[in-house]
């Protein structure tokens, strides 16, 4: 077996292992776009938080489930969602967005894992 065949086989195996896993949405597809609901602009997307994206609205922040996205082109169009829950989660995101977390050894950690 040639070196090229071995590399190709290795890459195929590596690609096959990621197919079964749930992939996170691409950050760049959801940031810096105006968000519309029923044709009305409600705010601008500013961050991604797991399976939700954060939208800056005139009176705060909301956390909208990515599953509600009906169209994602120049603008993000969304369907119906629970606004009360989204405001609560958006405000929670705002409170923790600039908080640094450290493990028991004093090393900074990213995300929610410790």
User: What pLDDT, on the 0 to 100 scale, is given for residue 4?
Assistant: 73
**What letter would DSSP give residue 83?**
H
Q: Which CATH code of 1.10.730.10, 3.10.20.840, 1.10.10.10, 3.40.228.10 fits the domain covering 27-103?
A: 3.10.20.840
pTM above 0.85, yes or no: no
Listed by start position, the domains of the chain span: 27-103
Q: Which three-class secondary structure state does DSSP give residue 76? A: strand
Residue with tokens 């994602």: 72
pLDDT of residue 114: 38
Alpha carbon 72 to chain centroid distance?
Answer: 13
* Mean pLDDT (10-residue bins), the chain, 114 residues: 72 54 68 94 92 93 94 93 94 84 79 48
Dist CA 81 CA 62 (whole Å): 11
Residue 38 gets which letter from DSSP? T
Confidence (pLDDT) at 76: 94
Q: Is the dihedral of CA 49, 55, 56, 57 positive or negative?
A: negative
Distances from the Cα of 2 to the Cα of 7, 9, 13, 14, angstroms: 9, 11, 17, 19
59 DSSP assignment = T
């Amino acid at each position: 077996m040639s070196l090229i065949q071995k590399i190709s086989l290795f890459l195929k195996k590596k690609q096959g292992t990621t197919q079964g896993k749930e992939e996170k949405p691409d950050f760049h597809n959801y940031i810096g776009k105006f968000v519309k609901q029923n044709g009305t602009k409600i705010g601008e997307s500013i961050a991604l938080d797991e399976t939700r994206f954060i939208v800056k609205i005139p009176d705060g922040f909301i956390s909208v489930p990515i599953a509600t996205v009906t169209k994602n082109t120049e603008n993000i169009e969304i369907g119906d969602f629970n606004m009360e829950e989204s405001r609560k989660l958006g405000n929670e995101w705002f409170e923790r967005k600039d908080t640094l977390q450290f493990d028991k050894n004093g090393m900074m950690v990213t995300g929610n894992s410790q």
